Amino acid sequence: MRRCLESPARRWGSALRGPAAVVTAAALTLGASGCAAMPGGGRVTSVKAQERSEQADESYVRLIPVAPRDNWSPQDIVSGFLAASASFDDDHRVAKEYLANPNGWRPGPRPSIAVFADRPNPTLTPGTNDDQATISLEGIQLGIITPDGQYTAFQKKVRVDYQLTRNAQHQWRISALPDALGQTMLLNKSDVEQVFRTFNLYYFAPDKQTLVPNGVFLPLVNREDLPKRLVQAVISGPTSWLRGAVWSAFPRGTKLNGLSLDKDVATVDLSKEAANGDVNQMSAQLAWSLGPLSEIKQWRLRIEGRGVVTPDGKSDVQTFGDWQANSPDGITVDGHRAYTIGAAGHLSTLGLNNFIPMPVVTNAPGRMIRPAVSPAQHEAAGLSPDGKQLLLIDDITTNGVPHVLRTAKDPEGRFTPPCWDRQGTLWTVETSPGKSMLWKREPGKPLKPVWHWGLDGREIYALQVARDGVRVAVVAKIDGRKQVQLGRIAGSGDRIDAGSFVPVSSELAETDDLSWRDYNTLAVLGRKTLDTQVLPYLMPVDGSAVTSLGVGSLGEPVSIAAVSGGPVLIGTKGSSQRLVCHQSAFRDRDSEWACSVAGSDPTYAF
């Protein structure tokens, strides 16, 4: 045996056989289980910040309706139907269960909606027998969403009747929907807010270069279908609000064959009609419209019969960045130029780095307030200090003298601060209490009133044409309240139609002045309630919440000027002197106001 132990092979063998094997196994097991424990130390591992992949995937809430129960009364049936209408799942499957003839009602994915303030209470109309009943609803209708997604405020009191019969199972069902509504669905405000989301569709301004956002309401039925719905909406053209004012690159009859998503690359498959369209312009429209969807980072455009098409000078896989040139805000090549009326009353440039006014027009100081400088930065328009005269300096580079373009006719009349659009057209409203008139002066032409002005019965306090040149924001007195309205300019030549004004927000009780911050946001001076101070706010034009801008004392703000990618400038009237205020760090919405520049009426030259 001793000899055996001397042999290494033998020793190994016996170790596996004998009690030593148990020890070995136990040691191995202990070692292995030690490895399995969670780490209690170790080096620091830095983790890269995740891309904002699902950040924009704002979660949403869906109403889950109940199917009609046995023994429900006619009132219950109508109430249940109204509640179930808010559920767009499976093409309103549950709501259809309330109907005697489910196939007779086809709301579709984008129905027209009558928006009620509340869920009205159904009342049983007398004359009901055992098999037939009429239920009437009374309520306040706030407005209507048309199938193209345009919301039109139209407040009125409405009463509608529902006819009910008993079905074979002796249960009440709706046999006839109200005639007054037709296929329109009745939802209350909170239902609409829950189901619908606003999206901007983009169409071309008449210059066919700048895109114009067209806010629409789309039901958010399913997040996955959203890109498809959005593309379909873009293809189907602008809403009635912008129709005639903008232009879509998609040829008539173009349909979406499909939209597939592979990781973050979408393939938009258009029907063959699209072959006649301009690939670049269609791509730009799609790019801007799909931009907010976080799941799509890149996309391809495929047209039936032409395969994947490639825009000029770009790759076939497009990104949002490819189409920045079509921004509704336009492109500013050499930075923004700000102007102000200096302390001595000269029209001055305002350096955006040091905020020191440098006079450019030294003639006739104090003759002009509320200046507006043309995009070419040659002409400057303004008002006389009493606001009754519209003044124009023909060439500020040669120190021109302001001359009167027009004087208000009405004794109480005055002009809104003038504004220039992208083409160099000057716009202003001559207004007096209860009436107004829009004037326009194309470059080198005389001042002329526009053919149609949608707010001719209202007093106007401010008017600013958006940088896309199509939309126009005004502060008008409606129902005794100075509120912001958004309209559009359509037509050309002499037949200019400036109208279709819709309220932008009801959050501010009163608004004094406004300026376009960017294509989706107005910078406004206003107050939340009538008894509070006038403060600057940012007001998105798509109807989302108004947010306050900056903190700190401002004095009494009187005018506001804003630009995309530049600081908001506010002209204030202090106790002793007029000051121009700007945010200490304008990219931070909540940074403090700094009011150190002596001057007034700041403005941006486009």
Of positions 23, 27, 66, 117, contacts another protein by CB under 8 A: 66
Using an 8 Å Cβ cutoff, are 586 and 338 in contact? no
Closer residue to another protein in complex, CB, 10/448: 10
Question: Residue 102 — φ and ψ, nearest 5°?
Answer: -60, -30
Q: Which of 223, 409, 445, 495 binds another protein (CB under 8 A)?
A: 223
Q: Are 360 and 348 in contact (CB under 8 A)?
A: yes
Kindly state the number of chain residues that form the binding site for another protein, as judged by CB under 8 A. Answer: 35
Given 90, 179, 262, 386, the residue binding another protein (CB under 8 A) = 90
The least CB distance from residue 82 to another protein, in Å, is: 8
Q: Rounded distance, CA 153 to CA 160, Å?
A: 19
Q: Is residue 260 near another protein by the rule CB under 8 A?
A: no
Q: Nearest approach, Cβ of 67 to another protein (angstroms)?
A: 9
Half-sphere exposure of 585 (CA within 13 A, CB side): 4
Task: Report whether 593 contacts 552 (CB < 8 A).
Answer: yes
- Of 365, 370, 348, 366, which Cα lies nearest the Cα of 357? 348
**Burial class (CB within 10 angstroms; exposed 0-12, middle 13-18, buried 19+) of 40:** exposed
What is the three-class DSSP state of 553? coil
Min separation Cβ 539 and another protein, Å: 23
CA distance 135 to 567: 57
Q: Does 190 bind another protein (CB under 8 A)?
A: yes
Residue 527 CB, nearest approach to another protein (Å):
27
Task: Please report whether residue 222 would count as binding another protein according to CB under 8 A.
Answer: yes
Q: Does 596 bind another protein (CB under 8 A)?
A: no
Least distance between another protein and beta carbon 55 (Å): 5
The interface with another protein within residues 275-294 (CB under 8 A) comprises: none
Q: Which is nearer to another protein, 287 or 296 (CB)?
A: 296
503 to 37, 113, 149, 291, 585: CA distances (angstroms): 63, 19, 16, 26, 31
Phi then psi for 234, rounded to 5 degrees? -60, -45
Examine residue 60 and tell whether it contacts another protein (CB under 8 A). Answer: yes
Q: Strand locations in 96-236, DSSP E?
A: 113-116, 122-124, 132-145, 151-166, 172-176, 185-188, 196-204, 211-219
From 56-64, 105-113, 139-147, 297-305, span contacting another protein (CB under 8 A) = 56-64
Q: Please list the residues that pair with 268 across neighbouring strands.
A: 259, 301
Shortest Cβ 40–another protein spacing (Å): 19
Name the phi and psi angles at 142, rounded to 5.
Answer: -90, -35
80 binds another protein (CB under 8 A): yes
State the minimum distance, in angstroms, from the CB of residue 226 to another protein: 10
Residue 7 sits in the site that holds another protein (CB under 8 A) = yes
CB of 100 to another protein, least distance (A): 19
65 forms part of the interface with another protein (CB under 8 A): yes
Of 76 and 456, which CB lies nearer to another protein in the complex structure? 76
Which of these ranges, 76-84, 312-320, 425-433, 503-511, lies near another protein under the rule CB under 8 A? 76-84
Span near another protein by CB under 8 A; candidates 217-225, 411-419, 471-479, 485-493: 217-225
Amino acid at 262: D
425 touches another protein (CB under 8 A): no
H or E segment and range at residue 230? helix 226-235
* Residue 194 lies near another protein (rule: CB under 8 A): yes
| Residue 247: DSSP 8-state | B
Q: Residue from 70, 130, 224, 312 that binds another protein (CB under 8 A)?
A: 224
**What CA–CA distance (Å, rounded) separates 291 from 89?**
26
Least distance to another protein from the beta carbon of 269, Å?
A: 17
Task: Return residues touching another protein (CB under 8 A).
Answer: 3-4, 6-7, 9-10, 50, 52-55, 57, 59-66, 76, 79-80, 82-84, 89-90, 190, 194, 221-225
